[in-house]
Structure 1
Amino acid sequence: MASAAAESQYVTFSLENECFAVPVDVVREILDHEEPFRIPHGPDYLLGLRDVRGQGVPVIDLRLRLGMSQTLKTPHTRILVIDVPIDGRSLSLGLVADRVFEVTSFRSDAIEPAPDIGIRWQSDYIAGVVRRASDFVVLVNLTKLFSGSDARALGTVTTSMEHA
């Protein structure tokens, strides 16, 4: 008898009409959308800071970060507060999602690599793709998406607010 493929749990959410997912173990909480405290001179996808249980958390418009159109707030808009492991530390971020769907499990053997479309494109943030009956779910590699200069800039924002 073959052993069952390992399963991992993910939080699924939508951006525009597409379905994305992040590992459930990086999601600290899911909050209703509130306008963040604006920060001047930040990248366009950095909407500002939000107080999350006494901690200043940078709020990111994930649609802008992925090259999509800006998020338009609706009654379904949520913020996923996540802790991303980057450079040996944990970076707390709030990701704006159009809608959060559910926590679901994906079998490791059902996760396909990002598709090769024959040209160079910004796909290094894609940890994999899961095919479902009517659509696909893109698994986001948060460490790759917010590594390097992004992590340094966002970490500086958080640090400067804590010392203010």
Structure 2
Amino acid sequence: MAHAATESQFVTFSLENECFAVPVEVVREILDHEDPFRIPHGPDYLLGLRDVRGQGVPVIDLRLRLGMSQTQKTPHTRILVIDVTIDGRSLSLGLVADRVFEVTSFRSDAIEAAPDIGIRWQSDYIAGVVRRAGDFVVIVNLTKLFSGTDMRSLGSVATRPLEPA
């Protein structure tokens, strides 16, 4: 007897001309883009801190983190506020996306593994790939993408609430 494929919901968004997705359960909210408070000497993809309901949330240029060109702010630019567990700690991050499309469901049997192209490349952040409308949607493995020494230091920046002005 075959098992029925399960469905999971994802928030889809664009970076440059590519479509990406993250699980809907990690997305706390989607905000209009505002310039964050700059933090000196941070990694290039760390744009700064943004106040999200009294909490200082590091804002990440996801395009730079993925090795793409820097985000150019447009009226469609959004920040996905996510809560993700990194090294056993819950961390809130703001991810800059060129555009947020929708919440959509993908069947588990439609999610393919990251393709093997025969050379080493930075694919460990890819949780899977879904074919849709003649194109691909890349599902981001946020834990893999944000694990590492530099991200642990972001956690210490983000754990303190911002003082009211």
Aligned position for 1:67: 67
- 1:138 corresponds in structure 2 to 138
Between the aligned partners of 1:75 and 1:148, the Cα distance in structure 2 is 32
Letter in 2 for 1:117: I
Alignment match, 2:42: 42
Q: What number of residue pairs does the alignment pair up?
A: 163
Contact 1:15 1:99 in 2 (8 A): yes
SS of corresponding position for 2:43:
coil
Unaligned 5+ segments in structure 1 are none
Report the 3-state secondary structure (helix = DSSP H, G, I; strand = E; otherwise coil) of the residue aligned with 2:157. helix
Question: What displacement does 1:72 show?
Answer: 0.3
Aligned: 1:20 with 2:32: no
The TM-score with structure 1 as length reference comes to 0.95
Q: State how far apart, in whole Å, the 1-side matches of 2:153 and 2:28 are.
A: 22
Within-5 A mapping of 1:112-127: 112-127=112-127
Q: 2 CA distance for matches of 1:150 and 1:4?
A: 41
Residues 51 and 57, structure 2, Cα contact 8 Å, conserved in 1: yes
Q: What are the Cα deviations for residues 3-30 of structure 1, in whole angstroms up to 9, with x where unaligned?
A: 4200000000000000000000000000
CA root-mean-square deviation:
1.4
Deviations 1:60-115 (A, max 9, x none): 00000000000000000000000011122211000000000000000000000000
What residue number does 1:129 align with?
Answer: 129
Measure the CA separation in 2 of the matches of 1:89 and 1:40: 24
State whether structure 2 residue 147 is matched by structure 1 residue 147. Answer: yes
* Alpha-carbon displacement from aligned partner over 1:98-141 (angstroms, at most 9, x marks no partner): 00000000000000000000000000000000011221000000
- The alpha carbon displacement at 1:163 in A equals 8.1
SS in 2 for 1:120: coil
Identity %: 88
Please say if residues 81 and 95 of structure 1, whose CA atoms lie closer than 8 Å, have aligned partners that are also in contact: yes
SS in 1 for 2:38: coil
Check if 1:98 corresponds to 2:98: yes
Which stretch of structure 1 is more off in the superposition, 85-94 or 1-10?
Answer: 1-10
**Alignment pair present for 1:5 and 2:5:** yes
TM-score by length of 2: 0.95
